[in-house]
A and B are shown apart, each in its own frame.
Chain A
Amino acid sequence: MGRNDMSEQANSQIQAASPSFETEVDILTIEHPLREAARMFARNKAAVGGLILLVGILILTLVVPFFYTVDPFDLVWAPLSPPGTENAPFGTDYLGRDILAGIVHGGSATLAVGASAALLAVVIGLSVGSLAGYYGGWVDEVLMRITEFFQVLPTLLFAMVIVALFRPSVATVAFAIGVVSWTAVARLARSEFLRIRSLDYIKAARSISSSNRRIIWLVILPNAMPPLVVQATLAVGGAILFEAGLSFLGLSDPNVMSWGFMIGSSRDYLMDAWWTVTIPGIFIFLTVLSVSLIGDGLNDATNPKLRER
């Protein structure tokens, strides 16, 4: 009784002593994790640079085509004119096609292949990895054997086979790239699910009768998201490079202009007309760079270990 009184009294005294002591702490630290991540991201100069770069590239490939209406397949000037030529500021290729037009109109195909291939890789990888990591045991064994099988396949060769079997088109190329590059996502998702599955809040979720479906989708997945988002951005970059590689080997839709196609079709002129290959190459480089800078920034921003102290 006496003791309780004392601590009651102590409590009220503390409140009197510094009425805002506890609330102050709360208000100062009140911040949604997503908002905190956004703030951390904004503090990262490289990541913000990457974001600006990507926005610039998106404008170039999605908006500029409406203003710069030169058809990238039209022969506009003398073949292999160097950059700075009137009418063709980036020069022309071996047929006299405007390289600037190629850059402007070909970007969307490149980005579309990159994004949809990455999406496919994430969907397959996430499904395989989450099931393997969550259920473990023989499910894990089987799924991981399959993953290993895809991992040891020579990816470029396998993608070439797929593209050659079907007609090369944006969709088949995206499909082929997606099918060969999901394994990294699957491994990451598996390890994240394995890690989180053993945490106490999953036991807590089970002890309050949550179903497996609920635990996988509503409890583990949101917590596994940060590294997966990073992995997805890396997959986008990888897919763009892959598309360039396939095009370079002549395995892309000849009727659709893309940066990879530009490099692929001009590869024989690299020595005589560097700009025909280098200019689209620079744009691919900038795109991949911007996406991986953003990925890095997201990683840092969502990694609690790097926050604060």
Chain B
Amino acid sequence: MAEPLLEIKDLRVEFDTRDGVATVIDGLDISLYPGEILGIVGESGCGKSMTALSIMRLVPVPPGRIAKGTIRLDGEDLLQVSEKRMRGVRGNAISMIFQEPMTSLNPVFSVGDQIAETILLHEGGSKRAAWQRAVEMLDAVGIPVPEVRAREYPHQMSGGMRQRVMIAMALACQPRVLIADEPTTALDVTVQAQIFDLLKDLQKKTGAVIVLITHDMGAIAEMAQRVVVMYAGRKVEDGPVDEILTNPKHPYTTGLIGCVPHLSADPSEERVPLTDIPGVVPPMTRLGQGCPFAPRCSEAMDKCRLEMPTQSVVGEDHRVSCWLIENDGP
């Protein structure tokens, strides 16, 4: 396989809380390859957003801190570079779009101004040229009559439009990595479909790597080529999407796929109960030394509760951290 564009190695993020130190990300390895869409899935609180924030080096310090690891973009470790250099990377080489577009847009400036501002900040040039580019970007993300729309304020736009503006802003400086943190959870499915189409399209055109964070396996299947499944701040399984969907190895992945009623074109009369993953994600401050999923896992053995499972390779580019796999052999 090609050289990774961005490589996270052994990342660990800690937070000081009332109940002690919470290790919200531990031993995380993720590689991004040029030209791909990578999905990250997992339940709420499993560290998806924190992973994105770590890449942007935007983890709130304090109470948080990146305790360990490296994040290399083209060989340069982003965790070591100066804050000034990082400002040049953010919004330029790596940019991010968030779940709620309303809170990430400034309500008192027109959307055109905001995009132009981003361009001026990173690339300089004349105001006029920046505005022109902003209008072009709005056009590129499918906003009708962009010259007029550029003068509008965020509150005058629908949720879907605002998310398009966010995408336009994120892409304004031709980033090489675009992180989309649940970009469609606040939107209707029909609008979500538009945004997904747009992202796929732009990915093909610009060649940017997209990291899509979501909790919807359907969205992953639709969008991504590879997927990372996270649980309690740890990567439990990763691999090609089709492989993971048809042949999941980790009990949590199996549960995640089985617990959602998937829409079928040909529903049958009979409806089997949904897979039940009992209980909830444990508080991050009280994870034992064993597998974090053990308390909810129907297959857990004594070993699982005592020792953190190691990663095993189970197929081409398919890795799992689970003692079951170790026991059976790959």
Contacts and interface: CB of A to CB of B under 8 A. Distances in A.
Q: So, do A and B actually touch in the complex, CB under 8 Å?
A: yes
B279 A3 contact: no
B276 A7 contact: yes
Interface stretch (B150-158, B191-199, B292-300): B292-300
A135 to B, nearest CB: 29
Interface stretch (A20-28, A86-94, A197-205, A291-299): A20-28
Contact of A18 (B273, B275, B305): B305
Contact of B279 (A4, A9, A14): A14
Contact of A14 (B18, B273, B283, B295): B295
B283 A10 contact: no
Contact of A11 (B17, B275, B278, B305): B278
B107 interface: no
Contacts of A278: none
Interface string A261-272: 000000000000
Nearest to A18: B295
A305 interface: no
Interface string A214-232: 0000000000000000000
A309 interface: yes
A17 B278 contact: no
Interface in B288-330: 288, 294-298, 300, 305
Interface residues of B, number: 21
A14 to B, nearest CB: 6
Contacts of A3: 272-273, 275
Contact of A9 (B294, B295, B298): B298
B17 A309 contact: yes
Contacts of B63: 309
Contacts of B283: 25
Given A10-B276, A10-B278, A309-B17, A17 B298 contact: no
A152 interface: no
B298 A6 contact: yes
Nearest to B283: A25
Interface in B227-250: none
A4 B276 CA distance: 9
Contacts of B278: 7, 10-11, 14
A10 B300 CA distance: 9
> What is the size category of the interface that chain A forms with chain B?
10 to 19
Contacts of A6: 298
B276 A17 contact: no
A17 B300 contact: yes
Nearest to B282: A21
Contacts of A7: 273, 276, 278, 298
Given A14-B279, A17-B305, A4 B273 contact: yes
Given A3-B272, A4-B273, A14 B17 contact: no
B270 interface: no
A200 B293 CA distance: 34
A13 B300 contact: yes
A3 B259 CA distance: 12
Contacts of B300: 13, 17
B282 A308 contact: no
A186 B291 CA distance: 55
Given A28-B19, A308-B18, A309-B17, A21 B276 contact: no
A21 B300 CA distance: 15
A6 B300 CA distance: 13
A13 B298 contact: yes
A183 B294 CA distance: 57
Given A7-B278, A22-B279, A25-B283, A17 B295 contact: yes
Contacts of B305: 17-18
Nearest to A11: B278
Nearest to B15: A309
A6 B17 CA distance: 37
Most chain B beta carbons < 10 A, residue from A6, A10, A22: A10
A43 to B, nearest CB: 10
A102 B19 CA distance: 51
A128 B162 CA distance: 40
A8 B286 CA distance: 25
A18 B291 CA distance: 12
A175 to B, nearest CB: 44
B118 to A, nearest CB: 29
Contacts of A22: 279
15 contacts: A6-B298, A7-B276, A10-B278, A10-B297, A10-B298, A14-B279, A14-B296, A17-B294, A17-B305, A18-B294, A21-B282, A22-B279, A28-B19, A308-B17, A309-B63
Given A17-B305, A25-B283, 18 more contacts: A3-B273, A7-B276, A9-B298, A10-B276, A14-B278, A14-B279, A14-B296, A17-B294, A17-B295, A17-B300, A18-B294, A18-B295, A18-B305, A21-B279, A308-B17, A308-B18, A309-B17, A309-B63
